Structure 1
């Protein structure tokens, strides 16, 4: 079963110790007026967690979906004692202009014994992808790009670009929809779409794909704010494999069209302040 976590977040934590100055001494004939020192700025961290369920393809190229957990994390706001701030203190507001952050995706293991149609192929361990993201947002439009490096199941590089049109029918409901393009290098493509001569069979002949565009698709998302801290969030995704990924025998015996659905509850947390 494949579970994706989009997610996207970068935190920088620092502490600044307040300084104290001793006032001049007082004598019996003079009284000094002490000016109170200004209080240091308060530290505050705000972030949002999402928990729910998701239906995703059992593996890349599968024509069956599986139900699993959907978890997500997003960074909202950080205020330091030095007075510097990052993000927006309103956790429900979209970031405007150009912003940078982290990028994360988790890919579950692919065990051949779980799928008769993949008999003969080697198992693939679970993989974690870590990287960076860049986003440009306005009130009704957003575009983003992400680059990640895989660890574990695959050691390749992947990237994704996309854009969204954003609608707000009410002050609590946010809708978004836009295209997605996904890319992977040779190492990524070999891991999930390649078949070595030792693994090959009559049903799954040897195949050595090259990197490039892996898939193109679209995502529709919705978010509803229940109150200041609770919300609902969901998305429907569709992608179609392209180029060498689409020609893989693994995909041809399954499906080159992949659907996903997720729905969860969100909760805003605030520490300090």
Structure 2
């Protein structure tokens, strides 16, 4: 089973981090808000500001599938950390430079999904994400090492235009791309001679190399319903390209177009640690 934009349960473990992946945290609003101030001093005695939540998603059953499934995912991100003697990291609205963990989980592809092809066990991905956000735009990139069913490196790059119609609402949209190593791609898109024979010739022998795996567009709408309580909806379209898109696993039994929609709720927490 595929969880392409999967659970970020390890995010809050790395305290000196900014929001992971597409999760950005916004400051509490006020009926008569003052002009936004990014200075770390705004947090007063608070040393750790983070966000936790849960969401549901509709996404492909496995990488390259044309069937979809419903899945749960966790939300965990860090807005601000202050470490005495070292300094502070993060700031309001996520503006400026950010760095933090990037985590992904890809569920198993079993024998019944693609008869004749080898199953692929669950894959775990762990790495870092870095980005820079201005008032109305951001750029970001991540790199992760995968182990389990697939091994190798995979990462994402992207950019967003940002609109903030109100203090409570933010909108993001922009292009994205995923890059994967040959070892990673081979696990999902290659076909060995043994698999060719076992599938009775349905899947031609194919050797998937590394490079761009997909390109697409992603968008996010985020609303602060009550102070420190958020609802986030995000959607994306990704097109498998190059060796991934040309694979018989995709052309004979899958779909080059991969869609995703998620809806989550979360809450911000603040702690005075020092």
How big is the shift at 1:79? Answer: 2.1
Q: 1:229·1:268 contact (CA, 8 Å) conserved in 2?
A: yes
Correspondence for 1:139 among 119, 122, 135: 135
1:29-66 Cα offsets, whole Å, 9 max, x none, are xxxxxxxxxxxx95632211231110010111111110
- Residue of structure 1 in register with 2:210 after alignment: 211
- Residue of structure 1 in register with 2:224 after alignment: 225
Whether 1:177 aligns to 2:173 is yes
SS in 1 for 2:100: strand
Runs (5+) with no aligned partner, structure 1: 14-40
- Residue of structure 2 in register with 1:11 after alignment: 15
Supply the distance in 1 between the matched residues of 2:108 and 2:98 (Cα, whole angstroms): 32
- Residue of structure 2 in register with 1:263 after alignment: 263
The equivalences for 1:47-62 within 5 A come to 47-62=50-65
Runs (5+) with no aligned partner, structure 2: 18-43
How big is the shift at 1:189? Answer: 0.8
TM-score using structure 1 length:
0.82
Whether 1:86 aligns to 2:89 is yes
Supply the distance in 1 between the matched residues of 2:186 and 2:131 (Cα, whole angstroms): 29
Supply the distance in 2 between the matched residues of 1:150 and 1:184 (Cα, whole angstroms): 10
Runs of 4+ with >4 A deviation: 6-9
How big is the shift at 1:177? Answer: 0.2
- Residue of structure 2 in register with 1:77 after alignment: 80
Supply the distance in 1 between the matched residues of 2:86 and 2:215 (Cα, whole angstroms): 43
Supply the distance in 2 between the matched residues of 1:43 and 1:70 (Cα, whole angstroms): 28
How big is the shift at 1:81? Answer: 4.1
Larger Rg: 1
TM-score using structure 2 length:
0.82
